[in-house]
Amino acid sequence: MSPLQGQVPGRSGGCCRGGIISYPLESIYKEVAYIAYHFHWELDTILEMEHRERAIFIQEIAAINERINAESGRD
């Protein structure tokens, strides 16, 4: 067996062979829309990022929004 065909945890807690685990497309759309809305970056720029990198920018945007809301009294 190929070393790439390792065990992948199944939903029931068991294991299954093979398969590809991917990031849900709906989540990618939300991440891209959130970053594009706030930073006005090009779609390709955002899509070229790894998921972890997009997640970091999302956290930073949320922190910026929280600070702005707190400063304006809109907690």
Query: Of 22, 43, 24, which Cα lies nearest the Cα of 34?
Result: 43
pTM score:
0.64
From residue 16, alpha-carbon distances to 12, 13, 25, 43, 53 in Å are: 10, 10, 23, 35, 29
| Cα 67 to the center of its chain, rounded Å | 22
**CA–CA distance, 63 with 65 (Å, rounded to integer):** 5
Are 73 and 66 a contacting pair, CB within 8 Å? no
Output 12 or 54, whichever has higher pLDDT.
Answer: 54
**CA–CA distance, 73 with 75 (Å, rounded to integer):** 6
Enumerate the domain spans of the chain. Answer: 23-71
Give residue-wise pLDDT tens across range 33-73: 999 999 999 999 999 999 999 999 999 999 999 999 999 88
